[in-house]
Amino acid sequence: MVDPLEATARLRHACRTTHADTFGVAAQAVAHRRWRRTLGPIRLLRERAEMLHEAVVHDALQAGLDWWQVADYLNMHPQDAWELYQNTLEGTPPPAVQRPSLAVRMWSGADILHDFDPAYGADLDDLPTTHSLHDDPTVLRLREAAVLLATDIWIAVSPPGETTPTIEPGAVAVAFSSVAANPSEIDAVRQALAVRRSQTHGHSTACPHRAPA
């Protein structure tokens, strides 16, 4: 029987041995007004707190949880959890491999340089603000960069089963993959894509309307 708390238990034992009186050291330093001496215990506790986080994720993955379940406990997007902890347990596949029915392909470009094409997929801005793809880490980074550069961008989402479009070099700024939270979110992407394509009446280039950055 595999002990699901193996990594966490090892860390607990190590901390018992090396940090048995970390708070005592800090309290003694404060009592003697040796403020700089408190920095050592604080730094050690911060390091061990991060190690504990990684140990718990390791044990959760080893116990059979997937990235959606880990992300739920971490309160983040599954793709974000994978980016942060993908090396925690060797051999753990990425989210798109764990649940391919929830995997999406995404493309992004700047309005002034790249034309949005419905062939790429639905416009992310057409999805509800509660849709989890708005919290994808790459999406957040792209939008933050757009604000800093004072430029407008578009982000296209292609649901599972869509034919990958032929994209000429330079037609988009970045391509990446992500996952939705559940099947209903995939349905929302497909519905938004159908509406977008019906609005363009087959025209291949139609820059979606959006508010300035």
Q: Which has the minimum average pLDDT: 49-53, 76-80, 151-155, 172-176? A: 49-53
pLDDT at 137 over 70: yes
pTM exceeds 0.95 = no
Of 179 and 196, the one with more pLDDT: 179
Provide the pLDDT confidence category of residue 47 given band limits of 50, 70 and 90. confident
Contacts 24+ apart (CB under 8 A), 68-72: 68/95, 68/98, 68/99, 68/181
Cα 92-93-96 angle, rounded to 5 deg: 150
Query: Stretch 82-97: mean pLDDT, rounded?
Result: 93
Of 201 and 107, the one with more pLDDT: 107
Of 150 and 40, the one with more pLDDT: 150
